[in-house]
Amino acid sequence: MALPIEIIEIVLSKLSVKTLLRFKTVCKSWNILISDPMFIRKHHDRQLRSKGSKKSENLFLVKNSQGFSLVKLEKGRRIQTLQQVFGPYLWVTVLCFCEGLILICDLSKENFALWNPSTRTHTVFKPTFYCVNAAFGVCHDPITDDFNVVIAKSYNYSVYSCNNKSWTMLEKEYETNYWASECSPQIVYYDPRDDKFKILHMPENVDYDKSIYLVDLSGFLCLYYEGRDKNTIVIWTKEKGIDIHSWNKLMTIENVEEPLRWFKPKWLLGNKIVIRIKETNHSGRLIVYSPCKKRFQEFKDTKMVFGWLGFVPYMDTLFFPVEKSGRIITGEFGFPIEKSIPERERKRKRKCIE
């Protein structure tokens, strides 16, 4: 049965990444279609849309001693392990994630990789500077279709363009840490359109004496802090996107027994919230809180699974930085750091920035 290519495209956009990569072998035109950035974008957007819906599969990667396990949160607070996934390095630290891509580094903290676990591909890079005590971010620039890795330190930040394979070092205008700072909190974000850090307005009525925490919660930016006493936590969410500045109060959690810093919202499961509670550096457990019933319930057998750090939402996507020559990113205070700059001069420039 010969179907027209428009219909084939609709059908293919509903397949999993594994099947799509296999079907590149069917014929040349299918290979071209499946490799097409427009198709990849459509497939990706479909996955993003299904993420918040009931169809969402609640898949996560959990770090273990061999790499990662792909796990599924199931009904009855069970965790099913689906398969083992191997990353680019044996021992990794997960730094951050963005739309299915995960930024990781090896134990030396000198080798970095942006990894897509669903295509099992990655791109590696090395920062040209010291990364201790830095904050990390990954963002997708919708205009150039580039992925930018942002490494922010106290006074400057560096942006790595995956398309151009080059670094840009820029000076911070705000003396804040990336995302949230501990005292007199404010939230800053990186805008890939002009390579600048900007202040994100916080919800009204936030007590400015309290520490705030920021995490990704089912694709939303999530802000939480201590409520009227030590046992309550107030959670706000904001849709991602530079131009959306409105916060929604998600819920107030009561009767919290653990200190706030051990508490990490991870995922929305219908109207409930999945939270990881840290116990020590190497152990923790997973609980689900229902704001209607004001009740905590623990996931079964999570002690074993969550003895390790790293619990990252998994998204089936073909998304990956497309290699192409494009603009070289330079900022107002920045310059591209490339191999062509002599070592001595590079050191001098770095010194004047640091």
Partner 1 sequence: MAAETGTPTTLTLKSNDDELFSVAESAAILSVTIRNMVEDGCAGGVIPLDNVDGKTLASVITYMNGISAIPADEEKKKSYRDKFLSDKDFETLADMVLAANYLNMSCLMDAVSAKIAQVMEKKSVGWVRRKFGIENDYTPEEEAAVKEEHKWTFEGVETDDDN
Provide the minimum distance between the beta carbon of 17 and partner 1 in the complex, in angstroms, as a whole number. 8
What is the CB neighbour count within 10 angstroms for residue 215? 16
Instruction: Give the x-and-dash track for 98-117 against partner 1 (CB under 8 A).
Output: --------------------
Number of residues binding to partner 1, judged by CB under 8 A? 26
**Tokens 């019933």 correspond to what residue?**
293
Q: Is 77 left (phi over 0), alpha (psi -120 to 50) or beta?
A: left
Indicate which single residue of 7, 38, 132, 183 sits in contact with partner 1 (rule: CB under 8 A).
7
Task: Rank residues 120 and 140 by Cβ distance to partner 1 and give the closer one.
Answer: 120
Q: Pick out residues in 174-233 that bind partner 1 (CB under 8 A).
A: none
Q: Closest separation between CB of residue 26 and partner 1, Å?
A: 5
Other CB atoms within 10 Å distance of the CB of residue 265 = 25
Asked if 97 and 103 touch (Cβ cutoff 8 Å), the reply is yes
Helix (H/G/I), strand (E/B), else coil: 219: coil
CA-to-CA distance for 110 and 137, rounded, in angstroms?
A: 16
Least separation in angstroms between CB 69 and partner 1: 17
Q: State which residue, 21 or 70, has the beta carbon closest to partner 1.
A: 21
- CB-nearer residue toward partner 1: 23 or 125: 23
The values of phi and psi at residue 12, to 5°, are -65, -35
141 strand-pairing partners: 146
Build a one-symbol-per-residue string for 13-32: x at contacts with partner 1 by CB under 8 A, - elsewhere. -xxx-xx-xxxxxxxxxxx-
Give the pair of three-digit tokens for residue 6.
Answer: 């428009």
Residue 188 CB, shortest distance to partner 1, in Å, is: 40
Contact flag: residue 8 with partner 1 (CB under 8 A): yes
Cβ proximity to partner 1: between 6 and 204 the closer is 6
Round to whole Å and give the CA distance between 303 and 285: 5
Hey, is 10 helix, strand or coil?
A: helix
Question: Given the rule CB under 8 A, which residues bind partner 1?
Answer: 1-3, 6-8, 10-12, 14-16, 18-19, 21-31, 120
